């Protein structure tokens, strides 16, 4: 996974009216949203506008997928007439009006539980774009737990420290808790290394870094510890013995015994010449 807090900026040309469809894929953990709560999901700046086309500079979180859908012109015109109050920019909102050189960011709605934000992204969030009086109109469905904030009113500072992005990348991965024990061990070791990086960073920058950053890194460390506990529990279950009379790998022993019985039946039923050929091939390898 890309460890930058956003993908590299892309210059996108769009024929209006259109919508940007934002989706959180099923293979991305919801912990990714918690780990990146201080960072915008998407940032867009208007670079060029003409009659029915715009060029946008788009940046977004690496685990968020974005696609462009073109809208029906008549339907978009009716919708624009119904929503004429697009000037409110003093706080987060569901609609904005942007001019040349201006932009906006998308965040999860403050005060809303993360589960609702992730559910909105799982379903897919549409940013409807249209051009009215040489202004780009941006609108989002009010039932979605996503807010639009103009760049000039966004006072949040995106975090791009390496240990922060490493931790966010680990939390974004959808973990298979029934994975083999060697894979679980590898993930646990990776979490331990990143938590050590966070501890060393905070110790080295104590009294230097902003309190907000310390709080954010401490929150990530707690999330990593929770994930580590889940992984460690899965690892212990994979190594546990179902009975004191049986080994932890009893299932593997049963499978080997079943394969041996099949092999014995094959030797009994197959011609001796074929058995000799198989034995020779096995000895060669």
Give, for 207, the enclosing helix (H) or strand (E): none
pLDDT score of 279: 80
Which residue's structure tokens are 């609108």?
139
In angstroms, the CA 57 to CA 183 distance is: 39
Side-chain-side CA neighbours of residue 68 (13 Å): 13
- Whether residue 67 has pLDDT greater than 50: yes
pLDDT score of 162: 76
Give, for 114, the enclosing helix (H) or strand (E): helix 114-123
Per the CB < 8 A criterion, the answer to whether 137 and 129 are in contact is yes
- Whether residue 134 has pLDDT greater than 80: yes
- Taking CA atoms, 228 is separated from 162, 190, 219, 235, in Å, by 20, 10, 14, 10
- Whether residue 159 has pLDDT greater than 70: no
Instruction: Give residue 107's region: left, alpha or beta (phi > 0; psi -120 to 50).
Output: beta
Per the CB < 8 A criterion, the answer to whether 166 and 3 are in contact is yes
3-class secondary structure, 204: helix
Average pLDDT over residues 49-62: 88
Average pLDDT over residues 117-144: 85
């Amino acid at each position: 996974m890309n460890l930058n807090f956003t993908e590299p900026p892309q210059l996108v040309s769009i024929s209006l009216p259109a919508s940007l469809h934002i989706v959180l894929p099923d293979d991305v953990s919801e912990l990714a949203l918690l780990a990146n709560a201080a960072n915008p999901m998407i940032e867009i700046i208007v670079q060029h506008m003409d009659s029915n086309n715009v060029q946008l500079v788009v940046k977004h979180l690496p685990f968020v997928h974005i696609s462009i859908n073109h809208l029906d012109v008549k339907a978009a015109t009716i919708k624009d007439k119904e929503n004429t109050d697009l000037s409110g920019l003093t706080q987060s909102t569901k609609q904005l009006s942007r001019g040349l050189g201006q932009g906006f960011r998308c965040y999860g709605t403050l005060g809303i539980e993360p589960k609702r934000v992730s559910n909105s992204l799982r379903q897919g969030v549409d940013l409807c774009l249209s051009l009215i009086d040489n202004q780009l109109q941006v609108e989002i469905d009010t039932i979605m737990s996503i807010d639009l904030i103009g760049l000039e009113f966004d006072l949040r500072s995106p975090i791009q420290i390496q240990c922060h992005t490493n931790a966010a990348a680990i939390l974004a991965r959808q973990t298979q808790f029934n994975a083999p024990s060697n894979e679980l061990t590898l993930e646990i070791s990776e979490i331990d290394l990143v938590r050590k990086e966070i501890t060393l960073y905070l110790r080295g920058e104590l009294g230097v870094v902003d309190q907000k950053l310390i709080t954010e890194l401490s929150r990530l460390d707690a999330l990593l510890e929770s994930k580590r506990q889940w992984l460690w529990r899965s690892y212990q279950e994979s190594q546990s013995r179902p009975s004191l009379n049986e080994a932890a790998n009893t299932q593997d022993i049963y499978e080997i015994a079943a394969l041996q019985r099949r092999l014995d039946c094959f030797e009994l039923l197959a011609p001796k010449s074929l058995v000799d050929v198989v034995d020779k091939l096995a000895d060669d390898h």
